[in-house]
Amino acid sequence: MNIENTIPRFKWQLIFLFLIGISGCTESEPAITVEKLEVIEIEFPPEPGKNYPFSRVNRPYFDERNQLQWNNEKKNPRICGVASQSECHHEVVLLEPRVDYCSCPSNSCGTEVLIGLDDQEEMVWQRELMCYDEDVIGATPQAIVLSTLEVIDPKTGMVLEPLITELNNKRAKYHFFMGTTAFRKKAKDFVLFDAEYSLFSTKGGLYLFEPEHEIKELIRKGERRFLRHLNVRNIALSEDEKFAFLGQMWETRGPFHVEFAIFDLEKKRTVFKERLENKFSCGDPIIVVGKNGHVAMSYRNDSKNKHVIVHYLISPKKGGTKI
């Protein structure tokens, strides 16, 4: 064996293995492309003496033709069983299928109820919420999620996933009043944001939570920069449930900033992020998902007295699967 000829060959083998290692550690390009189609601004209508954000529906939606629309109809107090809007706190939780939330001061802690409605605003189902114990933290056309992680079918009001209880106790084991979530029906798990921020520490972030075995996996840590911290206020899912669409807010003592982000749940990384406002106080991000990759996020710009709707088209890269 010729040692002098062997050493150069060995060097090239090391270089080849090193390059393979580098390529294996490098993140691949996102499997999607994102195109911003339009930005729509809708002025708050003049309504002296009324708290405008709570008197109208104010939600985007995609119609049957997959066209982006805006619903700013006045809320109907009849849905809550009262004569005027001032008697109850009334929110539209979901537009399609329609689900409303009513909180009316009929007793010491009030009556809180979810109501499913048809196209004529007639009640299809009703679910009373336990006072101080249950709240809606997630709403998609596939599932309504309560703070106890009980999952309700928005069309029928039937329980899709019962709440998880303490051992030898019927009380709910989990309470996520400050978080937001979406339930994946195929995987039977939750995409859950649950973060705690203090002056010097950050705990939690975005999780995948599998309730059957109670496995809670942190897939993205909470973020903070100086005096600002990032909260996720709304989560929606792609049709294949492989991507989570996040309505994010950088919160601070000054103006709040809003972002739209896309998180790949299989590769567990953010594949797209766009800061939508940087100078004005904004809030209330709401995401709706249409067909064939159409997604829109609305938010409220209080400084401009406008609602802003940003419309995206999300497509798989060549050779990819349908979003």
Domain harbouring 171, CATH code: 2.40.128
pLDDT for the residue numbered 141: 95
Average pLDDT of the residues in 303-309: 92
pTM here is 0.85
The structural domain count of the chain equals 1
77 in a domain, yes or no?
A: no
263 in a domain, yes or no?
A: yes
Whether the Cβ atoms of residue 190 and residue 217 lie closer than 8 Å to each other: no
* pLDDT exceeds 80 at position 106: no
119 in a domain, yes or no?
A: no
Beta bridge partners of 69: 61
Tens-place pLDDT, residues 186-199: 999 999 999 888 77
* pLDDT exceeds 50 at position 25: no
200 in a domain, yes or no?
A: yes
Tens-place pLDDT, residues 123-155: 999 999 987 778 999 999 999 999 999 999 999
Classify each residue of 178-209 as buried b or exposed e, where b means 16 or more C-beta atoms within 10 Å of its C-beta: ebbbbbbeeeebbbbbbbebeeeeeebbbbbb
Q: Which domain holds residue 146?
A: 30-50+136-316
Whether the Cβ atoms of residue 263 and residue 206 lie closer than 8 Å to each other: yes
**SS3 (DSSP) at 145:** strand
- Greater model confidence, 12 or 139: 139
**Share of residues in the chain with pLDDT > 70 (%):** 84
pLDDT for the residue numbered 254: 64
66 in a domain, yes or no?
A: no
17 in a domain, yes or no?
A: no
Average pLDDT of the residues in 282-290: 93
